[in-house]
Structure 1
Amino acid sequence: MQLVQAAIRVFTTRGFAAATMQELAAVAGMTTGTVYNHFKTKDEVARAVAVLLADSLCRRIGESQQGITEGAHRMAIGNQRYIWLAEQSPQWALMTLDVAAAAPELLLEIRHYVLADLRLGVKQKAFRIPGEAAAMDLINGTIAQAMRSVALGLAPPNHGREVATCVLRGLGMEAAAAREVAHRPLPPFPPMGAAPASRKKPGAKAKRA
């Protein structure tokens, strides 16, 4: 965990491409040889960072959605929270996007939660989509670009709500309905240090005793 946390700090300040294993070792207070005992390549480090980021992000967003049973509303909350995080910490957002490009594990982990909300919206007849794969690309691509725009200071005020509205429209909602859902107040967001709640991936079956 110490090494992964050090990697997050290095990737955030230097960027994934520019970061070196030597810098990671220095920040972690280890020798470079010790780092290589744990990770053979920087891509392996990125995968470990991706797993940690995905767990934290999904847990925090999931906790903020507790009690919300409307798929469209859950989708809007999740979309806006990623963009809000880019507003709060631009360097963190850019680092997360870099890690996602280097380590698909990040998007694969997050995908379970987004897909569950998408399917719920379809089941509730709020979303009308031609196919799940196309809808997921629409969501992921739009939110990733919105995060980058916000982090680089290129987005106007209230960008998160407007992007969330566009995503809901792209998923088949009428304009007025999409705007109403996207403009609802956001629920509280658990802090990064909040204790993890017991959770399982959407759709996962409970283990029998």
Structure 2
Amino acid sequence: MSSENHRTRVGAQRRERTRLLLLKSALQVLSKKGPDATVIDDVIAVAGLSRGTFYNHFRTANDLLLALANAMSDEVLAVLKPVVLAFDDPVHRFSMGTRLYMRVAVQYPAWGRFITNVGANIVMRGQHFDENVTRDLTLAFERKRIITPNLLVARTIVMGSIIYGIETMLSEPPQEEFSENIVATFLRGMGMPAGEADQIAYMQLPNIGPITGSIFSTLPKPRSTTVAIKQVHAAKPRRSGARPGKGT
């Protein structure tokens, strides 16, 4: 019995290593080609595996992207969760979680571009981050911290702002306190007094350190958000008349 358990355990570990290799290889391909040009042959070539091995783990390229989104998001949330849940007020949790999530996306541009290029239906909708935001918005509404005629509308505004906000931070000239402005604008629009909205939106963010999950550990080490944004834009031709500002 112990021998069978050992073989089962070893087989499960081997399967998980192969799955992780496919996920890491997919991220490499995505970083070079983008999601529209990524095909299964590219992934298995980078991984050094057979097509049959790929299909033992994923049915389609879309399944692979969904698994990669889940895995990377969970690695981020594993670091953010204890920081966010330290706050009892759901509005404080919402502000802290949203801004930290956007910061990580800029500090790790490969992750940020994956979020914005693949699409909300894979990266956000139904994922743990979406569930956390929905939880905090619902509690904030129940406690009368925000006012909205429709929580689904509030959630849609928030999630859309996060994805488009990350894309803006990675593609447009740096904007000062961009994620803070997004949170403050949302809270004001949901009926919170301007002073309180600004105070919550501009709470000092902690230094959470690097994301140390299996996939994120393969990415270049993060720099400060300001430096990361400047590096993203350094290789891009500056638009006529555009003047860079401070990083978020």
TM-score by length of 1: 0.83
Partner SS, residue 45 of structure 2:
helix
Corresponding position: 1:98 with 2:102: no
Partner SS, residue 167 of structure 1:
helix
- What's the counterpart of residue 21 of structure 1? 40
Return the alpha-carbon distance in structure 1 between the equivalents of residues 138 and 209 of structure 2.
25
Task: Quote the offset at 1:190 in angstroms.
Answer: 5.3
- What's the counterpart of residue 176 of structure 1? 195
- What's the counterpart of residue 138 of structure 1? 157
Runs (5+) with no aligned partner, structure 2:
1-19, 215-248
Task: Quote the offset at 1:111 in angstroms.
Answer: 1.9
Return the alpha-carbon distance in structure 2 between the equivalents of residues 71 and 130 of structure 1.
18
State the one-letter code of the partner of 2:102. Answer: I
User: Is contact 1:47–1:103 with CA below 8 Å preserved after alignment?
Assistant: yes
Give the share of equivalent positions with the same residue, in percent.
25
Partner SS, residue 2 of structure 1:
helix
Q: What CA deviation, in whole Å up to 9, does each residue of 1:37-83 have, x standing for no partner?
A: 33232111112112212322332221221321111111111111122
State the one-letter code of the partner of 1:26. Answer: A
Return the alpha-carbon distance in structure 2 between the equivalents of residues 173 and 28 of structure 1.
50
- What's the counterpart of residue 220 of structure 2? none
Task: Quote the offset at 1:102 in angstroms.
Answer: 5.5
User: Is contact 1:89–1:151 with CA below 8 Å preserved after alignment?
Assistant: no
Partner SS, residue 56 of structure 2:
helix
Partner SS, residue 129 of structure 1:
coil
Structure 1 vs Structure 2 CA RMSD: 2.1
Return the alpha-carbon distance in structure 2 between the equivalents of residues 168 and 80 of structure 1.
13
- What's the counterpart of residue 29 of structure 2? 10
TM-score by length of 2: 0.71
Return the alpha-carbon distance in structure 2 between the equivalents of residues 162 and 39 of structure 1.
40
After TM superposition, which residue ranges in structure 1, 4 or more long, deviate above 4 angstroms? none
Runs (5+) with no aligned partner, structure 1:
196-209
Aligned partner of 2:67 among 21, 45, 48: 48
User: Is contact 1:129–1:135 with CA below 8 Å preserved after alignment?
Assistant: yes
Larger radius of gyration: 2
Corresponding position: 1:72 with 2:115: no
State the one-letter code of the partner of 1:91. Answer: A
State the one-letter code of the partner of 2:125. Answer: L
User: Is contact 1:64–1:190 with CA below 8 Å preserved after alignment?
Assistant: no
- What's the counterpart of residue 7 of structure 2? none
State the one-letter code of the partner of 2:109. Answer: P
Return the alpha-carbon distance in structure 2 between the equivalents of residues 74 and 97 of structure 1.
23
Corresponding position: 1:32 with 2:51: yes
